[in-house]
Structures are given as structure tokens and as C-alpha cells.
């Protein structure tokens, strides 16, 4: 349930960023009156699919410390 809530939060956040980024373009399109005469307001709606995150390859990588140093620098 926590993962689904995180996905919904990500969708809302992404929608907000897209709306802010495309605000000027959407305003210009709304002035044209498309797609309808009574309500030309455009709305962004992101749909993230939880299964898409499981369809990619993953790997575990180790950072190896520089053997000549104090162990804090990585190669």
C-alpha cells in the first residue's frame, strides 16, 4: 500500500511539473477554443504503471575503496 501511495504522489507531482512547464503553451491553445467551445481547458493526467518498474534489469554494484588510501576514496 505504501508503494501505491508513492506512485500516486509521483503522478500528482509529475502532473504539477508538466502543468507548470507547459502553462504558456496550454494557455495559447485554450484561446483557440479547442477541443470544445464551452470548456477548452486542457488537463494533464499522468498514469504510472507499477508493473513497468519491474520490467527492467537491475544490478548490484559495489564501490571499491582505493587500496593505497585510507578507505574513504573510491576507485
pLDDT single digits (tens) 7-56:
889 999 999 999 999 899 888 887 776 666 666 678 888 888 877 766 76
Name the grid cell of 4: 501505491
pLDDT reported for residue 28: 84
| 33 φψ region: left (φ > 0), alpha (ψ -120 to 50), beta (else) | left
pLDDT reported for residue 9: 92
Where along the chain do its domains lie?
Answer: 2-54
Residues 6+ positions from 72 with CB-CB distance below 8 Å: 65
Q: Give the pTM.
A: 0.54
Amino acid at each position: 500500500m505504501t508503494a501505491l501511495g508513492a506512485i500516486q504522489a509521483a503522478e500528482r507531482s509529475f502532473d504539477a511539473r508538466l502543468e507548470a512547464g507547459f502553462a504558456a503553451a496550454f494557455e495559447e491553445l485554450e484561446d483557440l477554443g479547442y477541443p470544445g467551445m464551452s470548456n477548452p481547458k486542457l488537463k494533464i493526467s499522468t498514469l504510472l504503471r507499477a508493473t513497468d518498474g519491474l520490467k527492467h534489469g537491475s544490478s548490484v554494484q559495489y564501490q571499491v575503496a582505493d587500496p593505497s588510501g585510507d578507505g574513504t576514496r573510491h576507485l
